[in-house]
Amino acid sequence: MIRLLIILLGFVGVSATPDQPFRVAYNKQVTKELTTWSDSFEKAEYIKTIDSREFYRMLDRTGETMGTLVLTSAQGRFERFDLMVVVDPAGKISLIRILKYRSEYGSEITNKKWLAQFYAKTDSSFALHKNIDAISGATYSSHGIINEINFILDQLN
């Protein structure tokens, strides 16, 4: 119980600034996802905001960098959806979660099994039908998330 409280405070420890609207909106959800993903996650420190994308350095209990957390949104067919992306120090995707999907179409991309195809690939960019499988009913959302992930990877390289 105390460890969970410390972890929750670790992500919220630094008060959010106007550059961090995703942190304000999704703090509890992101913290829950990160602590489920890694039991050594301690906190996320704000780095910068690029075009509404929030970048955070993730640290473990020993203070070592675990990777980069990016809170962002991507374009679906009609509406934007919010997501979190974790990139490990080697530049590979470790975790993707859709935080909020607003449209009634294309929600198939929230499927964890579909999202897992991005993990640990050595490709420097992703493309539908090339190294990412299509998903029926979510073509626009698939393109949106792929474009967003490619932008994030470019920024981190």
| pTM, 2 dp | 0.86
Q: How confident is the model at residue 106 (pLDDT cuts 50, 70, 90)?
A: confident
- The dihedral over CA atoms of 140, 143, 148, 151, expressed in degrees to the nearest 10, equals -150
Q: How far apart are CA 99 and CA 89, in angstroms?
A: 23
Give pLDDT, residue 18. Answer: 62
Expressed as residue numbers, the domain containing 55 is 2-156
- pLDDT band (50, 70, 90) for residue 137: confident
The domain tally of the chain equals: 1
Best CA proximity match to 38, nearest among 11, 12, 19:
11
Digit-coded pLDDT (tens) for 47-102 = 999 999 999 999 999 999 999 999 999 999 999 999 999 999 999 999 999 999 99
User: What are 60's strand-pairing partners?
Assistant: 41
Here the tokens at position 114 are 């579909």
